[in-house]
């Protein structure tokens, strides 16, 4: 399992309610994340790559409700397309997502990760 998959799998266990889901999407897509030992987890990944990882790790589709989306309104049969569409509709590059990303970056720092600034910073 690569560093991003390991990271997302660990976060999957911690993000039960989806309270930081938008922030997670913002951080993974737009920031550099490094582990305590200096291992690069992500340097900003494409929506497609993130959607594929969420599919492979079987993230709960109900989390999209925390993004203001209805799971039934997203592509039901193709999970990669489901997650890609959810990421696109969540506006992970918008100001609300940037604020959520800043909050989630602080959570990650407490877990020992080094998180770079957002693209607009």
Q: Token digits for 108?
A: 């990650």
Q: pLDDT tens string for the chain (121 positions)? A: 599 999 999 998 887 556 799 999 999 999 999 999 999 999 999 999 999 999 999 999 999 998 999 999 999 889 999 999 999 999 998 999 999 999 999 999 999 999 998 876 5
In 2-119, which ranges are E strands?
A: 32-34, 40-43, 114-115
- On whether the CB atoms of residues 25 and 87 are closer than 8 A, the answer is yes
Helix (H), strand (E), coil (C) string for 99-117: HHHHHHHHHHHHCCCEECC
pTM: 0.91
- Supply the pLDDT for residue 13: 81
- Per-domain residue ranges for the chain? 3-112
């Amino acid at each position: 399992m690569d560093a991003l998959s390991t990271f997302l799998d660990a976060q999957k266990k911690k993000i039960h309610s989806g309270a930081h889901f938008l922030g997670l999407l913002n951080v993974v897509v737009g920031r550099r994340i490094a582990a305590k030992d200096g291992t690069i987890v992500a340097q900003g990944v494409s929506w497609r790559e993130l959607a594929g990882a969420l599919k492979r790790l079987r993230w709960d589709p109900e989390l999209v409700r925390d993004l203001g989306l209805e799971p039934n309104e997203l592509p039901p049969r193709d999970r990669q397309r489901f997650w890609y569409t959810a990421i696109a509709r969540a506006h992970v590059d918008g100001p609300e997502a940037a604020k959520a990303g800043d909050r989630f970056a602080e959570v990650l720092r407490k877990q020992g990760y080094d998180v770079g600034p957002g693209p607009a910073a």
